Structure 1
Amino acid sequence: MKRDELAGFLRSRRERVRPHEVGLPGGERRRTPGLRRQEVAQLAGMSIDYYIRLEQARGPHPSRQVLNALARALMLTTDERAHLFHLAGQELEPARRRGDVPPGTMHLIAFLEEVPAYVLDAKYDILAWNPLASALMGDLDSQPVEDLNVIRWVFRSPDLAEHLGDEEKSRFARASVADLRWAAGRYPDDADIQALVAEMLALSPEFARLWAMHEVEVRREQRKRVTHPVAGVIDAICQVLPVPDREDLRLVLYTTEPGSPSHRALRRLREVTLSS
């Protein structure tokens, strides 16, 4: 981490931004060129003391979440954001990847700071995610790559019976199996998909029962309720969007109604993520 250079860069970018560009009043009595420190801190959702320490080259090592918040508050360009991450000694992408996720999709989920977002492949492996998705779904960054499979999460869960007793969760499990069957037919030579199906048929009677129904349905938008230990209950619309030029990949977004309790809960979760 290059503390002195980072401090100088933050000061120079802060002085460049005019208050009206970020929706703040200007006024003739402002003696500070650009934004005040407390204004940057407010826009980035962090304490003024934390930001002052960064500008004085004595702050802690900022997380990727903090850097993304600063990049947004200071209206950094793509190249400036990359430079900010370099000075802080951080990898540019806040999402881990496995497999061939297009760079444009990686950049998109990185900038979706208030929306949990991740990328699924046809086998239901989670290939990439942003920090809010990791916070919502249980610290994805700390899990082994081989464990990041939604089908395994559902049908190898010790709470499977309770899970399937809930109408909404049961519907999700059934739709996931129907979607996996579609993928198995669409990609008949994909050994990984075939191996997952064989594994689940051997280990999960519930999966075998649903698989035997021969239902086929491509996964699309559906409502989902998440109970988070910190944020509480979040009722989200789970949107599933195709990744351009990669029909085997899908972008999953958890959106909430603006101003709703679920929207506020997601914001609380983001604040906790930024402060950690």
Structure 2
Amino acid sequence: MDIDRSGLAEFLRTCRESLQPEDVGLPRGQRRRTSGLRREEVASLSHMSADYYARLERQRGPQPSEGMVAAIAQGLHLSLDQRDHLFRLAGHHPPARGAESQHVGPGILRILDRLADTPAEVVTELGETLRQTRMGTALLGDASLRTGPNRSLGHRWFTDPAARNLYHPDDHAFLSRTWASGLREVIARRGPRSRAAALAEDLLTRSEEFREVWATHEVGLRPGPVKRFIHPQVGLLELQCQTLSDPQQAHSLLVYTAEPGSETHEKLQLLSVVATP
């Protein structure tokens, strides 16, 4: 497929101008003359240089890679149809939809953008964190640093002992069973050639504990409403976890809250102060 430079530039400009700062969790500020978002704001949301993004709107520069197009689609909070159109304009075939998709829907993103001071994350059915709030990063670590199978918490749980340090030791055994149970259910939904099945095969070769819990064939286990974390900076945190699901993309928004007036609530406020912006 060939890139449609004029169509790409016009579509990017139209999408950018249709968004307001508050739509994407940015402050409006004063003396704003731009209709919609500024180019540098979209570039920041897309994790690229302002010069690179500006060249696309000016019909210049090299053809953007699939990764760059995906980042722009996410930064502009595009719907799946808009994302697919953007890929075609850029000269690429659109990525898969559904369970294999890494594109977070705009509805979930709009909610996430309004939770900047609350620990929250968007995860796949394999436990891969796709987006985090600032407080989500402070609580759970920076998911953007993880690559390959280690993007999945389930994979890290059984292959990296350090992954369990954040969770209360009394919960480890049940969480192991819960991860195996959930993965077995995903494989039943997605089939033996799915990413879930490949993850299970990998864990069967790597972890004796996984082999043991996998052999029990448990299904239907669910984590409790309260998650207990042992945070390296503030200690024990007992957090309620609310879940909002996007069935079209098989993604879940997890929001962690503390009872007002509780010790955990005070610790979260402290964590918000020490967290890196």
Q: Structures share a fold, TM > 0.5?
A: yes
Q: Deviations over 1:82-127 (max 9, x none)?
A: 637946963279xx87712211112211211232111222222222
Distance 1:119 1:85 in 2: 26
Q: Does 1:262 align with 2:264?
A: yes
Structure 2 unmatched ranges of 5 or more: 1-23, 48-70, 75-100
> Equivalent of 1:90, from 25, 29, 44?
44
Determine if contact 1:99/1:127 at 8 Å carries over to the other structure.
yes
Cα 1:163–1:84, aligned 2, differ >3 Å: closer, same or farther?
A: closer
Distance 2:42 2:25 in 1: 12
Question: Which residue of structure 2 aligns with residue 7 of structure 1?
Answer: none
- Determine helix, strand or coil for the equivalent of 1:251: strand
Q: Deviations over 1:128-160 (max 9, x none)?
A: 222211111122233335422111121112358
Distance 2:124 2:163 in 1: 23
Question: Which residue of structure 1 aligns with residue 60 of structure 2?
Answer: none
Distance 1:164 1:140 in 2: 16
Determine if contact 2:117/2:133 at 8 Å carries over to the other structure.
no
Cα 1:161–1:154, aligned 2, differ >3 Å: closer, same or farther?
A: closer
Distance 2:134 2:167 in 1: 28
Distance 2:132 2:218 in 1: 29
Cα RMSD over matched residues? 3.5
What is the aligned length? Answer: 201
> Is the radius of gyration larger for structure 1 or structure 2?
1
Question: Which residue of structure 1 aligns with residue 200 of structure 2?
Answer: 197
> Equivalent of 2:130, from 114, 127, 131?
127
- Determine helix, strand or coil for the equivalent of 1:90: helix
Determine if contact 1:219/1:240 at 8 Å carries over to the other structure.
no
Distance 1:195 1:88 in 2: 36
Cα 1:100–1:83, aligned 2, differ >3 Å: closer, same or farther?
A: closer
Determine if contact 2:237/2:267 at 8 Å carries over to the other structure.
yes
The AA in structure 1 aligned to 2:119 is P
Deviation at 1:70, TM superposition (A): 4.6
Deviation at 1:208, TM superposition (A): 0.9
Cα 1:138–1:238, aligned 2, differ >3 Å: closer, same or farther?
A: same
Deviation at 1:194, TM superposition (A): 0.9
Determine if contact 2:130/2:143 at 8 Å carries over to the other structure.
no
Question: Which residue of structure 1 aligns with residue 251 of structure 2?
Answer: 249
Q: Does 1:166 align with 2:173?
A: no
Question: Which residue of structure 1 aligns with residue 216 of structure 2?
Answer: 213
Distance 1:241 1:210 in 2: 28
- Determine helix, strand or coil for the equivalent of 2:45: coil
Q: Does 1:137 align with 2:140?
A: yes
Question: Which residue of structure 2 aligns with residue 112 of structure 1?
Answer: 115
Please list every run of at least 4 consecutive aligned residues from structure 1 whose deviation after the TM superposition is greater than 6 angstroms. Answer: 160-165
Deviation at 1:174, TM superposition (A): 1.2
TM-score (norm: length of structure 1):
0.61
Q: Bigger shift: 213-222 or 258-267?
A: 213-222
Question: Which residue of structure 2 aligns with residue 153 of structure 1?
Answer: 156
Structure 1 unmatched ranges of 5 or more: 1-66
Alignment of 1:42-53 (within 5 A): none
Deviation at 1:193, TM superposition (A): 0.9
Determine if contact 2:166/2:231 at 8 Å carries over to the other structure.
no
